[in-house]
Every structure is written in C-alpha cells, then in structure tokens.
Structure 1
C-alpha cells in the first residue's frame, strides 16, 4: 500500500513555487500543465489544478479562501521557528505563532490557497499513553532508514497511540 498527498490548487505554477520554497520539495514529474509531482517528504505530493467553483467531493464546490478541514498536513521539522520564517518568506499565512505544547513545539499556518498546515517538532520526552513508556525509535524507523525520501527529522518521530496527546 502506498500513501500520497493530493493538493487541489487554482494555479499549479504558483503552488509549485510556494511548496518548493516553503518546504524544500523538488519537482519530480510534470503531467501536462496542470499536474505536478513534488518529492522530498515521506509521501509524494501531487499539485492538481482545480479551479475555484468547480465541483469537489460531496457536492461541495472548491474554494480557496481559508477553510477548515478535519484533515491537514503536519510537517515535522527540527526547528519550528526557522521553519515558520521560511514558510512566511514563501507566502504562508501565520495563524497561530509557534508555542510549546506537551508533545513539543507547534505553529499553525495556511498556504496561499487556504489550506491549513502545522509545523511541529516533537520533544524527546514524549511517551505513549498506551504503554506508559517511550517507544523504541529505532524499531519504528527501521522501515525508513534506507529510504532517501525520508529526511532525518522524520526518522526520530516518537509514536503516539493516544491522539489526545496531539
């Protein structure tokens, strides 16, 4: 099974510029003028040109003003404050400044197309509520260690089995 991330945008070139500048992603393939693959995260990102007002899922029309969605991107970084500055320079909108949380540090932003995302860094003290102890990071990350698509910050994410911690 493979995971990938599709992001609908009204302007694929503008979105490519934003996502490469904000997150250091690189263009993989282009499928015509309206479909770009970005690489550099654990899953490939596909930017898809979909104009505002066209039909989306469930009869809801696409809109690119800031909107709430229960599914969003959390980008794990080593330094939240530096990542926020980079994202802002690329055109992101800061919604909640970086702050400390029980699991680490987090900031909430939106891309220029209204899609929310968080930048976060987990603290080394994280524990799992299901076991009461810190999981073996080495065991969790074994499947990623030889994959060039996974950066170092993705290799040391503690696993949380209780989403209330996040």
Structure 2
C-alpha cells in the first residue's frame, strides 16, 4: 500500500464496553475475524476480512464510564499537527492529540463546528485499510449534519476537497472530491431525524445481500433504523449494533435507475 491522498478515508474504529460482544456481532454480520488485543495500546484489537485489516475495536480507557459506542472515521493527513491547526483556525475543536502511536502513525480526534466528530491519521507503518470497497469492508461514508453550510465550509477549508452538489429538490447532498475521486458525502439531516440524534459521520459497510445482512444483524441483537431501500447507488439499510453504534449496510449489486445530476457547490 501507499499512503492515501490527504482527506481520503483511511481507517475506522469504535469503542465498546463489551468488546467480546462487538466481536461476536460483527463477526456474524460482516464476517470479520479479530487479531490479538494490543495491551500496550489499551487492548486495541484489529478486525480482518479474508486476512486483511479493515477496522478495529477497543474498550473504554480506564476511568471512562460507559461512553456512547460509535464508529469513528479517520481521514488521511500528511501532517497531523498542521491539520490540527487548520481544525482550530476554521472553528473546529481538537478533542485528542495529535498523538504519536509508536511507529504506526500519528492520530488526532476532532469535531467540526456543527458537532461532527472525526479522526485524522498521519500514516507511519500502519497506512490504513488493507481492503475497502469489498464485501465485509468499509465502502463509503457521509457527514450527517443539521448545519450543512457550516460543515461544508469547514471540511473544504481543512482538507483539499472539491464540493459537488446533487441536483435534487428532495435532499441536500454534497459529494466531496479529492482530485477526480469522490471520497466522502455530506447529507443534511431531515426533519424526520429524532431531535436527540447527534451529528455524525455515517459509515457504510459492503455486503453481498442487504436483506440477508439485515436479518443477521437483527437476529444478533441489532436494531433496524431505516430500509432496506433500493437507491441509485445500491440497496441499503441503516442499523445499530447491540451497543448503539450505527452504520449502514450497502449492497451495490441491486441499484435503481436514474443516477443524479451534479453541479459545483
């Protein structure tokens, strides 16, 4: 692997009070296996799909009482300290770091002005996903916010994104590009979203059959939040795992016609 371009999604992890329960759930739903816990790094445990690293799970740090489980997406940076300064300069907040993690790389956790939390990763020997865009792996993510203009201004200032807006009267959706590659989406939260739902970055994991994956998720204690629904991009469903971490299952093999038009945002 080579390091990904700045702003590209490169890694994902989540904190769980019940790590063994999380491993069992994602093993059943996405076919993940897990490596040995790294005790020197807070029992951080990598997940694998077909022998390739695709994500990680970790228990809370000592002293943390029952944090809300949620997936965190990391965006690539050639200089985490410089990115941290851009976060601050553009109205965001650095919550943790920059912190060097042995020779694996340097990380920080940040929050945009609308409340969206995300990670930044400056690669060392760990350059990120060993597989993505495949069954059982990360395949897409969307910034989910109630204040799209503020979020768009922030992310396009911190990272070298070009914003392209979907031509639609129904949804407010922007695609963020690095060069010619679309790497991330931004979706305005609708009025139907519960008022207590926090802004976030929604991670999508690829599956061969969305409906079958939903059945596996609910059978193993997950909760269906939306769908399954067939869209121009694939059949998808939003679910939460038994500990409350939300994600989207996406089957790109079943798509509806009529791809959307785009314009510069």
Alignment TM-score > 0.5, same fold: yes
- Counterpart residue number, 1:18: 25
1:34 to 43, 66, 80: 43
Residues 127 and 102 (structure 1), Cα distance of their counterparts in 2 relative to 1, 3 Å cut: closer
What secondary structure sits across from 2:36 in the alignment? strand
Q: TM-score, normalised by structure 1?
A: 0.61
Residue 14 of structure 1 and its aligned partner are, at CA, apart by: 1.4
Q: How does 1:8-157 map to 2 (within 5 A)?
A: 8-32=15-39, 34-40=43-49, 44-50=54-60, 51-52=64-65, 57=95, 68-122=198-252, 123=255, 129=261
Q: TM-score, normalised by structure 2?
A: 0.40
- C-alpha offsets along residues 66-98 of structure 1, whole Å, 9 cap, x if unaligned? 953421220122211011111112221111131
- Give the whole-Å Cα distance in 2 for the aligned partners of 1:86 and 1:10: 22
- Give the whole-Å Cα distance in 2 for the aligned partners of 1:126 and 1:49: 43
- Give the whole-Å Cα distance in 1 for the aligned partners of 2:37 and 2:57: 10
Residue 117 of structure 1 and its aligned partner are, at CA, apart by: 0.7
- Counterpart residue number, 2:106: none
* Largest Rg, 1 or 2: 2
- C-alpha offsets along residues 96-134 of structure 1, whole Å, 9 cap, x if unaligned? 13122232211110112211111112228575746xxxx
- C-alpha offsets along residues 121-157 of structure 1, whole Å, 9 cap, x if unaligned? 2228575746xxxxxxxxxxxxxxxxxxxxxxxxxxx
Judge conservation of contact 2:230–2:256 (CA < 8 Å) in 1: no
Give the number of aligned pairs: 125
